């Protein structure tokens, strides 16, 4: 009788642990935010130069865990308050600069800039940003700049949640 009672108690403890693990996994899944994308889905070509700054769209999405990046607009919208890491690479051909910046809510944070007379241009930059729910991050190509992309995915925009802040 004592063994049966003890066994029943252990089964309840295991059941409670299992429910706690399920809740913890669900909570962690909601905190899984990461994306990485390049510009061209297929083919090759130049983007720019333009007479005004433009927001770049990275349509070839490799990863979009949490669906916080919108490949139609090129905008990442923070679903959680936290510390996020963002990174861009820009690629172009000499003669026209390849310059783009990461923006947070309309304010430029960092710039990647390649500029030389001939040959290929390549630059990258990254930044850790503290974002509130609803903050937006995107990449803008500078006026007079041009990038080039192909199936080699030279131009990329990536970001991920380092850790949530409450």
Most confident listed range (7-11, 63-67, 89-93, 112-116): 63-67
Q: Which residues does 5 contact at the CB level (< 8 Å), separation at least 6? A: none
Number of structural domains (the chain) is 2
Residues 49 and 100 in one domain: yes
Residue 24 has pLDDT above 50, yes or no: no
Range of the domain at 22: 1-30
Residues 14 and 55 in one domain: no
**3-class secondary-structure state, position 163:** strand
Residue 95 has pLDDT above 70, yes or no: yes
Residues 100 and 121 in one domain: yes
Q: How does pLDDT run across 119-151, given as a tens digit for each residue?
A: 788 899 999 999 999 999 999 999 999 998 888
Give the CA distances from residue 54 to residues 82, 123, 132, 166, in Å, rounded to whole numbers and listed in that order: 27, 18, 24, 33
């Amino acid at each position: 009788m004592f063994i049966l009672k003890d066994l029943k108690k252990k089964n309840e403890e295991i059941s409670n642990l299992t429910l706690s693990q399920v809740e913890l996994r669900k909570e962690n899944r909601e905190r899984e935010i990461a994306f990485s994308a390049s510009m061209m889905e297929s083919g090759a070509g130049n983007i720019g130069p333009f007479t005004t700054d433009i927001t770049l769209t990275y349509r070839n999405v490799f990863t979009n865990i949490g669906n916080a990046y919108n490949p139609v607009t090129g905008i990442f919208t923070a679903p959680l308050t936290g510390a996020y890491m963002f990174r861009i690479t820009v690629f172009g051909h000499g003669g026209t600069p390849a310059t783009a910046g990461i923006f947070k809510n309309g304010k430029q944070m960092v710039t990647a800039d390649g500029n030389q007379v001939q040959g290929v241009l390549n630059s990258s930059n990254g930044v850790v940003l503290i974002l509130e729910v609803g903050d937006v991050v995107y990449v803008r190509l500078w006026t007079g700049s041009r990038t080039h992309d192909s199936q080699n995915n030279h131009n990329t925009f990536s970001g991920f949640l380092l850790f949530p802040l409450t």
